[in-house]
Structure 1
C-alpha cells in the first residue's frame, strides 16, 4: 500500500471524527475554527522545519517506491498529513471522552451554585 493512500485514510478518519464530535457535543465550527487553524499552521511549519533537519542529518530516510514524489525541500509531502490528523483528532477525542468544549462566543458564564452569606 502506498504511504499516501494510508495517510489519506487516517486524515479522512480524523476529520470525520472531528465533525462527529462537533455534532454530538453541539459545538459550533465558528467557535473552534480560529484555534484549529492556528494550530494547524504552527504544526505544519514545525513539521517542515524539523522533518528537513532530521532527514538532512541522516536520522531517517524513506523508500522512494512508497512515496508520491513531491517534497518540501527534503520532507515528502505525505509527512504533512500527520499534523492535519493531530489537529483534528486530538480535540475530537477530548470532547468525546468528556472534556469540556470551548466556551461559546458571547455566552454568559454559568451561574454559581454557592449561596452567598449576607453580612
Structure 2
C-alpha cells in the first residue's frame, strides 16, 4: 500500500487538461466562456453551483433554473499544452487565449 506522501507526489505529477471552454444554452444560444488549468474540475464546480442554485453569474443561473441542465452543453474551445519551459504563468496564458477566442468567434450572446 502506498504512503500518503507517495500518493501526494503522484497527484502533483498528474497533468490535467487546461484550456478554454464554453457552457452554452441551446434554447437561447447564450454562452458562458471560462478558462482553467484544470477544465474538468472547473466545469464540475460550475455545474455544482448551478445545481445548488448559487452560481455567481445570476443570468446563467436563471437560465439553468428555467430551462434545466439538459438544455446546456459543455464544449472545449481550445486546449493549452504544458510548456517545457519553467515558470510559465498558465493563468495569464489562458486569459490571453480566452480573449483571442472571444475576438475570433465573435460570440454575441454571452452571460
Question: Scaled by the length of structure 1, what TM-score is found?
Answer: 0.23
Return the TM-score normalized by structure 2: 0.24
Greater RCO, CA 8 A, separation 6+: 1
Larger Rg: 1
More strand by share: 2
